[in-house]
Structure 1
Amino acid sequence: MARSRTFEWGDPQVSAAAVGRASGLEFLRDVLAGRLPAPPIAATLNFTLHEVESGRAVFTMEPGEEHYNPIGSVHGGVYATLLDSAAGCAVQSTLPAGTGYTSLDLNVKFLRPITVDTGKVRAVGTVLSQGRRTALAQAELFDSTDRLLAHATSSCMIFPVPAR
């Protein structure tokens, strides 16, 4: 039986234009509060920024069949997207105004399968080390009973954002 899902997203250019105007933490708090639209990937995969503080970002997602791979569990790319988002936004939360970042790499370890029966999952990103040009962050993906489902590390490049 065919299934469908409909979703909406805000204009990504609105958020992109705001990057660097304020600190990374202020930017992420504006996304969290709905003053800036979340990125379209959040609507596509149905995940949300749940909390943010300096050096830490948490995303949550309720897994659905639309996230499945051909063997009946959540696709590894969904894990990776959540982990990359949490690690990257943890780095972003530490950046001063006029600064941006991008992921240089992502190393993911898949530990447990996720299905619709897993329930809500959360990806917790934290900054491990930060310099002027690069940062190292990790992210852990947990189920509702705090079982570790996956772990990732990410190196991020930090750069000045041109005034817009």
Structure 2
Amino acid sequence: MGRTRTYEWEDPAISAAVAGRTSGLDMMRDLLARRLPGPPVAATLDFALEEVEEGRAVFSLLPGEEHYNPIGSVHGGVYATLLDSAAGCAVHSTLPPGMGYTSLDLTVKFLRRITVDTGKVRAIGTVISRGRQTALAQAQLLDGADRLLAHATSSCMLIPVPSP
């Protein structure tokens, strides 16, 4: 009665080597166009980058049983991963060459339950404020009817990327 799921990913060092060498928006566009391999976590959870523009990133996921917690709904960590990805990549899309970022915190508010019956969900991240050293972003997790499922805010530290 067991269920199985297999998946593949590409070498994450390929994309990591590009980070900071080009603008964040150019890197995000290359990920979207699949000129760069996506991060392994996206393969693990089966979510995808759908849209990117400066200061905005959108990821989507079709919930499956593999995302469930023991009480029969999508685990909060899946929500958090989608929201963190959307908020962080929105920040990344604003960075010039030579800059990177890392998340300092993530605050998530869970508002609605997600199950396989929910259908496709989208995490939409937007930058609220970006300074020289930090950025603040938010992300909303929405269902197909644009009902808010969860909301997050994230502070990111902007860091110079050393030259090769």
AA matched with 2:80: A
Structure 2 residue aligned with 1:9: 9
1:66 maps onto 2:34 in alignment: no
Distance 2:33 2:21 in 1: 17
Distance 1:89 1:6 in 2: 26
Structure 1 residue aligned with 2:35: 35
Distance 2:28 2:113 in 1: 29
Deviation beyond 6 Å, 4+ runs, structure 1: none
AA matched with 2:78: V
User: Number of residues paired by the alignment?
Assistant: 164
- How far the C-alpha of 1:163 sits from its partner, in A, is 1.6
Distance 1:128 1:74 in 2: 28
AA matched with 2:116: V
Distance 1:163 1:11 in 2: 21
Deviations along 1:123-153, one digit per CA (max 9) or x if unpaired, are 0000001100000000000000000000000
Distance 2:120 2:14 in 1: 29
Distance 1:42 1:86 in 2: 12
Of all paired residues, the percent bearing the same amino acid is: 76
Structure 1 residue aligned with 2:147: 147
Q: Using structure 1 for the length normalisation, give the TM-score.
A: 0.99
Distance 1:112 1:151 in 2: 10
AA matched with 2:99: T
- How far the C-alpha of 1:157 sits from its partner, in A, is 0.2
Deviations along 1:23-80, one digit per CA (max 9) or x if unpaired, are 0000000000011000000000000000000000000000000000000000000000
Q: Using structure 2 for the length normalisation, give the TM-score.
A: 0.99
Structure 1 residue aligned with 2:51: 51
**SS in structure 1 of the partner of residue 159 of structure 2:** strand
- How far the C-alpha of 1:20 sits from its partner, in A, is 0.7
Distance 2:119 2:59 in 1: 14
**SS in structure 2 of the partner of residue 137 of structure 1:** strand
Structure 2 counterparts to residues 1-164 of structure 1, below 5 A = 1-164=1-164
Deviations along 1:67-115, one digit per CA (max 9) or x if unpaired, are 0000000000000000000000000000000100000000000000000
Please list every run of 5 or more consecutive structure 2 residues that lacks an aligned counterpart in the other structure: none
